Structure 1
């Protein structure tokens, strides 16, 4: 895939939140942890649960973060797990306002048979990592 294709597929960074384009797909934030890296920056990890129902008919899902503080040149890392098994990883850059968005396929069409194929189905753990500036001078 070309660099411009990757840029179109994965754009920018910010606060943690997951929203799925298909309305019958749900996501719920479970936990947030902040781990200092050094005196200036920390790694913020958000763990959320995504549920894709068996009867989903829409093709796309999206992981989004609202505008917030961020550290330039550090991308957002998004990891999808089915149980303990890694399923899909992505990296997206921060937009100028501190937001990010990653759009991914939830459902596809088999070109040979014309049948719809669910890429994601059931419950997934989604881990989102981003680098943030430290807000306390004691870290």
Structure 2
């Protein structure tokens, strides 16, 4: 494995561990990274992880973050949330100049009529993150 692909693998793993909230009641545990070639120059990287939002969560926001990595410009990062097999929420964000990204989303809201707090996300979720990356291997 060359140093470029090692850095790419490390950056992808850091991105998965970046799924969190501030200060961090919501957790992300496991991950799986799959790279599928699109053509001789680019590939699609799929990262699958889990997210758990406790029933007694008090935080209003969650965040999906990815550390700086090698991404192909002009291709957005796609983030998908699933509860079991059911799609719950999809998002699209652009990578910053250094290849990092951040997506903030509501996990808790307040009903303006009743003042009651409503959990938008609660329990276990599968989170899939897709990004287009340059091929690390010239043979692909």
Q: Is the 8 A contact 1:47 1:128 kept in 2?
A: yes
Aligned to 2:53: 52
- Which has the higher relative contact order, 1 or 2, with Cα contacts under 8 A spaced 6 or more apart? 1
Q: Which runs of 4+ in 1 moved over 6 A?
A: none
Give the secondary structure class of the aligned counterpart of 2:21: coil
CA–CA distance in structure 2, aligned partners of residues 127 and 73 of structure 1: 20
CA–CA distance in structure 1, aligned partners of residues 126 and 22 of structure 2: 18
CA–CA distance in structure 2, aligned partners of residues 105 and 87 of structure 1: 13
Structure 1 window deviating more from structure 2 (20-29 vs 68-77): it is: 20-29
What stretches of structure 2 of length at least 5 have no aligned partner? 1-10
Aligned to 1:21: 22
Structure 1 window deviating more from structure 2 (26-35 vs 74-83): it is: 26-35
* Larger proportion of helix: 2
What stretches of structure 1 of length at least 5 have no aligned partner? 1-13
Structure 1 window deviating more from structure 2 (28-37 vs 84-93): it is: 28-37
CA–CA distance in structure 2, aligned partners of residues 55 and 19 of structure 1: 16
Give TM-score, length-normalised by structure 1: 0.88
Matches within 5 A, 1:63-78: 63-78=64-79
CA–CA distance in structure 2, aligned partners of residues 45 and 26 of structure 1: 19
1:30 has 2:31 as partner? yes
Query: Deviations for 1:65-113, whole angstroms, at most 9, x for unmatched residues?
Result: 0001010000000000000000000000010111000000000000010
Give TM-score, length-normalised by structure 2: 0.87
Aligned to 2:109: 108
Aligned to 2:88: 87
